[in-house]
Amino acid sequence: MDINNLTINKILIIDLAFIGDVILATPVTRAIRAKWPQAEITMLTVPLTEPVAQMNPYVDNTLVYDKRGSHKGLSGMWKISRELKKYGFDLAVCMNFAARGAMVAWLAGIPYRLGYDAQHAGWFLTWAASHIRQGIKHETKNHLEVLTPFGFSTDDTTLTLVPPADAVASMESKMVQQGIVPGQYYVVCPFGSYERKNMPLPMAAQLIRQLNDRYPVYLIGGQKEKLGLDGYAKAGKLPESHVLAGTLNLQELAVFIQKARGMATVDTGPMHIAQAMHCPTVALFGPTDPKVWGPENDNSCYLYTDEECSPCWGKGPCRDNVCIKKLKAKDLYEKLQ
């Protein structure tokens, strides 16, 4: 079946993964938009990442698959499929290796379905791309492999987010209220999705004190990380008001990062937000591979000791987090300058 001979007016991109994955799918949505400029593109996400998808400039609409709530289980899968059927999509592009997205697209009666052949998802697809990665390359390029059966792609792998006007206005108002001057502060994100990614406390404290001698420093993270961030702030001699844990939504956070002088971070979602907002960034890598997940912008870089046991993705036998602890706060500070 030649995709060029088909009439495609309504496209559903299904991405049910994490914040970083949704951001790293930007090149795929850009390529699809270039192929079908007249089409209406909708992205289906989980509740957490819908605000991120809403900032994708190549996406017209967003829908939510609440697989842990109203769409939980097989009955929930049937429910979301019935909801999607009403929109009359012509094409579904399933971004994840899990079969769930392909099954939902098939149940929704979407006539053309593209995705990966992982976990028997190929049974529900019109075209299936191989899930076997060819060599080690950045995840943006890995994501683009889903388009292989269509025979088109893009060389533009830059990440882009455009926060809506209300998020910009809200964040600017909060900055005025707190006396935060655009371009005159640093952002530090010391916690990742699991402990072995985290910036060690002694390193973070030294970095915070060095940066704070020049410009104010703000710590960011989720509400569940508030207690830990408070400890890091105390060690770095920052006031509690400089801990922004769960106080900003994702769109406000994107604006806040964009307006920062620079950002020091570990491998986590806000690092990808910083890349999409073109904030100068230095990222620490230990148990994960920066060649796959690291920052790629010209104004950004990463620190990595490339230990023999890395990447272990947090599952290696090491208990001392040597790969991160070997990195030095002074190197991070100098790189950020």
Tell me the CATH number for domain 3-150: 3.40.50.2000
* CATH C-level class of 165-336: alpha beta
User: Which among 30, 54, 31, 28 has a CA at the least distance from the CA of 43?
Assistant: 54
| 3-150 against 165-336: fold identical | yes
pLDDT attached to residue 308: 81
Q: Provide the 8-state DSSP code for 205.
A: H
CB atoms within 10 A of CB 254: 27
pLDDT attached to residue 321: 79
Residue 299 clears pLDDT 80, i.e. is over it: yes
Bridge partner list, 12: 42, 92
pLDDT in tens, 70-93: 999 999 999 999 999 999 999 999
pLDDT in tens, 218-270: 999 999 999 999 999 999 999 999 999 989 999 999 999 999 999 999 999 99
| Whole-prediction pTM | 0.94
pLDDT attached to residue 247: 93
Q: What is the DSSP string of 47-116?
A: GGGHHHHTT-TT-SEEEE--TTTTT-HHHHHHHHHHHHHTT--SEEEE-SSSSHHHHHHHHTT-SEEEEE
Mean pLDDT, residues 116-132: 94
Range 105-109 contact pairs with CB under 8 angstroms and sequence separation of 24 or more: 105/12, 105/14, 107/77, 107/78, 107/81, 108/80, 108/81, 108/82, 108/84, 109/85
User: Which among 116, 96, 93 has a CA at the least distance from the CA of 105?
Assistant: 93
Helix, strand, or coil (residue 314): coil
Provide the token pair at 77: 């899968």
pLDDT attached to residue 325: 86
Please report, rounded to a whole number, the percentage of residues in the chain having pLDDT higher than 70.
100
pLDDT attached to residue 310: 84
Return the minimum-mean-pLDDT range out of 130-144, 164-178, 270-284.
Answer: 130-144
pLDDT attached to residue 86: 97
Spell out the domain ranges in the chain.
3-150, 165-336
Distance (Å, whole) CA 233 – CA 16: 34
Residue 306 binned pLDDT confidence (cut-offs 50, 70, 90):
confident
Residue 1 clears pLDDT 80, i.e. is over it: no
Residue 318 clears pLDDT 90, i.e. is over it: no
pLDDT attached to residue 320: 75
Provide the token pair at 323: 């790969």
Distance (Å, whole) CA 313 – CA 285: 11
Distance (Å, whole) CA 20 – CA 1: 33
Average pLDDT, the chain: 94
